[in-house]
């Protein structure tokens, strides 16, 4: 707690948001003045250099067209534009309530994702829905968070977040639900306790929580263990991975995830596609979520797809990944902001 106070003391009053702290910390390093535009409000930062002033909203820049932000928020419009550009987008429909059309879509694809049409942060998203009862519950959950509901074919594979800054791939993270790895002597419960301790990092911007705390006694976690034939008191073999989440009919917003840097792995064709996706939506700083079998292989509709494009991407997981190389994406972002 003492360390947290000492780190906070180096930031002006009102800088609580980690994105803004990242930007302020790097701006100071680069000799750029950075302050809140409005006292007590973290929505806008004012950056000042010798020859210009720039107003930003975290990772939304002064160059982002209003229409681009609106397109990114509406998943149907976003998917339509990407599809017209020939990019792999999972099959989807938009509905307003449970009905025959929804059932037919589920029957056609066997496994689907249900999400609000215009919400963010995984709110109301249910993964890998496979039967009508699950579909009804998922639609009810999505309806609480958006004006419409999108049903999307569930794509199997590995999840990646690709960060685009000014027509360049700045960083790539692979992310997956949190798991523990056996050491040959610790029980699953003990491994979860170790994991919970490791999730808190003391950084130059204060205490950073890599993922929410794992409850070893949560019903869904115990079910996930049971499906693997494992109990909390069992001692896994050294190197054995034990999954703590089962994605089957799971609420996406309640899944803790590891983010591991894999920027050097992305295939040039995939990198080019991600740049084109951001460009087609006129988003200069974008976080593109994709799922595919292997990002080192050119992505096609048969083995992957673009799931979502975000116009307010989070930089923290690239600066503080749970594994792999830390990427100085905030410097790249500020250099882009300040260029002529």
Read off the pLDDT of residues 116-145 as tens digits, 9 standing for 90 and up.
Answer: 988 777 889 999 999 999 999 999 999 998
Share of the chain above pLDDT 70, in %: 97
pLDDT on residue 7: 52
Asked if residues 157 and 303 have their Cβ atoms less than 8 Å apart, the reply is: yes
For residues 57-70, average pLDDT = 96
Domains for the chain: give ranges and CATH numbers. Answer: 2-58 (no CATH), 63-88+155-178+253-340 (3.30.470.20), 91-154 (3.30.1490.20), 179-244 (no CATH)
Contacts (Cβ under 8 Å, ≥6 apart) of 224: 243, 244, 245, 246
Q: How far apart are CA 6 and CA 241, in angstroms?
A: 37
Read off the pLDDT of residues 32-53 as tens digits, 9 standing for 90 and up.
Answer: 999 999 999 999 999 999 888 9
pLDDT on residue 253: 83
Name the token pair of 183.
């050491």
pLDDT on residue 51: 84
- CA torsion 127→213→121→287, rounded to 10°? -100
For residues 90-108, average pLDDT = 96
Read off the pLDDT of residues 302-313 as tens digits, 9 standing for 90 and up.
Answer: 889 999 999 999
pLDDT on residue 1: 34
**pTM for this one?**
0.92
Residue 193 has pLDDT above 60, yes or no: yes
pLDDT on residue 340: 66
């Amino acid at each position: 707690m003492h360390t947290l106070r000492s780190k906070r003391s180096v930031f002006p009053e009102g800088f609580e948001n980690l994105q803004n702290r990242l930007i302020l910390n790097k701006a100071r390093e680069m000799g750029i003045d950075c302050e809140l535009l409005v006292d007590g409000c973290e929505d806008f930062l004012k950056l000042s250099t010798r020859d210009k002033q720039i107003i930003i909203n975290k990772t939304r820049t002064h160059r982002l067209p209003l229409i681009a932000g609106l397109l990114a928020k509406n998943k149907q419009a976003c998917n339509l534009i990407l599809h017209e550009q020939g990019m792999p987008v999972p099959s989807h429909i938009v509905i307003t309530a449970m009905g025959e059309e929804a059932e037919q879509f589920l029957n056609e694809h066997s496994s689907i994702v249900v999400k609000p049409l215009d919400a963010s942060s995984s709110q109301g998203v249910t993964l890998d829905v496979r039967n009508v009862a699950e579909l009804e519950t998922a639609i009810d959950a999505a309806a609480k968070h958006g004006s419409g509901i999108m049903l999307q074919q569930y794509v199997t594979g590995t999840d990646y977040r690709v960060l685009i800054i000014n027509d360049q791939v700045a960083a790539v993270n692979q992310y997956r639900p949190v798991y523990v790895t056996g050491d040959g002597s610790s029980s699953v419960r003990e491994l979860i306790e170790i994991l919970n301790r490791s999730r808190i990092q003391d950084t130059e911007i204060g205490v950073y929580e890599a993922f929410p705390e794992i409850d070893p006694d949560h019903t869904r976690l115990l079910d996930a263990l049971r499906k693997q034939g494992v109990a909390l008191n069992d001692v896994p073999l050294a190197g054995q991975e034990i999954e703590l989440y089962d994605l089957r009919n799971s609420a996406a917003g309640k899944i803790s995830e590891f983010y591991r840097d894999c920027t050097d792995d992305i295939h040039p064709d995939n990198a080019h596609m991600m740049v084109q996706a951001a460009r087609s939506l006129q988003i200069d700083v974008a976080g593109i979520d994709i799922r595919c079998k292997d990002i080192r292989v050119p992505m096609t509709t048969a083995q992957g797809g673009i799931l979502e494009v975000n116009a307010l991407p989070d930089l923290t997981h690239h600066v503080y990944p749970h594994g792999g190389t830390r990427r100085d994406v905030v410097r790249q972002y500020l250099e882009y902001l300040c260029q002529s």
